[in-house]
Amino acid sequence: MPTEKDYKKVFTDWRQCNVTKRKYVSFQVESTQTIFQLKYGSMANGNKGIFDTLRRNSAFLRMQRYDSQTEASIGFFLGINPKLTLRKALKEKIDDIFTWLDLDDEDNKLLMKECKTGETTTQEIVIPAFDIHHKIFGSGNGDDRITTTVYEIRTSPTHAATLKSILCKASHPDNHPLVQFIPYGIQGITHKDIYKNMIKK
């Protein structure tokens, strides 16, 4: 395992618990691999994953520390059946939407990130990372309740409002949407049966 000095070169954000005196590090990972592949590895990429490395070195990782694993569910996609549409195909479709969608200046500011290569500093727009999950969604109570299966989208709570706003704009009729994103929370500002009416259609 790397020495403490090596760790401090890579992980600059150190936090120490005043009670246990344990030290914790935090870092940001940007990768083309999924969270599952990073954790458990991928035979296709020859990567054994984080947990395998921890196990071989008798190291332990406490989940949920500093809410690092918290996700926010922001909405679901209407008219896309998880039994007929592959998650990968939907992910590619959403990525394609982000490519051509015309964002306003306010959205661009939230997504702008500076990248430095040597002495050159450039700016690029980075779409927040998100996961797509299969979920049984329902509306109503008792005998009046109806359910359906949908693809739900989840992201970091930090980026939830931004990603929800972008997907709502992408679903606007003026943008000729390829997907229809339904955000959570609209039932409270419209009427209680709005989700039920959408499911019935």
**Using one digit for the tens of pLDDT, what is the confidence trace for 37-72?**
777 777 666 777 777 777 777 766 655 443 455 788
pLDDT confidence of residue 66: 39
Same domain, 63 and 84: no
Q: Is the pLDDT of residue 169 over 80?
A: yes
Q: Measure the CA–CA gap between 29 and 47, rounded to whole angstroms.
A: 15
pLDDT at 61: 60
Based on the fold, state whether residues 108 and 185 are members of the same structural domain.
Answer: yes
User: What's the pTM?
Assistant: 0.59
Q: Are residues 183 and 118 in the same domain?
A: yes
Residue 122 has a pLDDT of: 80
Which residues are CB-contacts of 105 (< 8 A; sequence separation ≥ 6)?
Answer: none
Would the pLDDT of 34 be above 80? no
pLDDT in tens, 178-188: 788 888 887 66
Task: Indicate if 130 and 186 belong to the same structural domain.
Answer: yes
- The reply to whether 78 and 154 lie within a common domain is yes
Give dist(CA 145, CA 132) in Å, integer: 25
Mark whether 124 and 91 lie in a shared domain. yes
Residue finishing a domain among 39, 67, 95: 67
Domain count, the chain: 2
Range of the domain at 149: 72-200
